[in-house]
Amino acid sequence: MQAALLYLAAGRRTTLSNLAKAAREDKKALARLLQFDLNSARGRQVVEKNAYHLLRHRAYLSAAALFLLPDPPQLTLCLDVLVRHMKDPLLALLVARLVESGLHPDLGGDERGGAVRVGRCTP
């Protein structure tokens, strides 16, 4: 669950789903969440409820990752958790850049919502 935030921010939901399915039997909670239709109101409600449950138990990184699960992601809630609870504005900036570049291909992400392309800097 620790790496889930970066996988989701980079738009690699299928990779994360495959990793979650391959996890040990007692660690399959993420795989069960990924089975929901995250575009429906019911799926969004289930994910949001679990995210707030994790916040109450101070699992801030996991809660921030769950806020990125629905489509479109709840980026403001995720960033709020990272900045206010984890006190990590640099991680929040990284997540915001990854998510925004994946949502808008003209900002540097590829068509699949992948990682940001970085060009060479010539003097």
Instruction: Report whether the peptide linkage leading into residue 72 is cis, meaning its omega lies within 30 degrees of zero.
Output: yes
Q: pLDDT at position 26, please?
A: 66
pLDDT tens digit string along 7-26?
A: 898 888 888 888 888 888 76
Q: For the chain, give the percent of residues with pLDDT over 70.
A: 81
When pLDDT is cut at 50, 70 and 90, the band that residue 116 belongs to is very low
- The pLDDT tens digits of the residues spanning 31-45 come to 888 888 888 889 899
Separation between Cα atoms, residue 111 and residue 48, nearest integer Å: 27
Total number of residues shown for the chain = 123
Q: Supply the DSSP symbol for 24.
A: -
Q: What is the mean pLDDT of residues 45-50?
A: 92
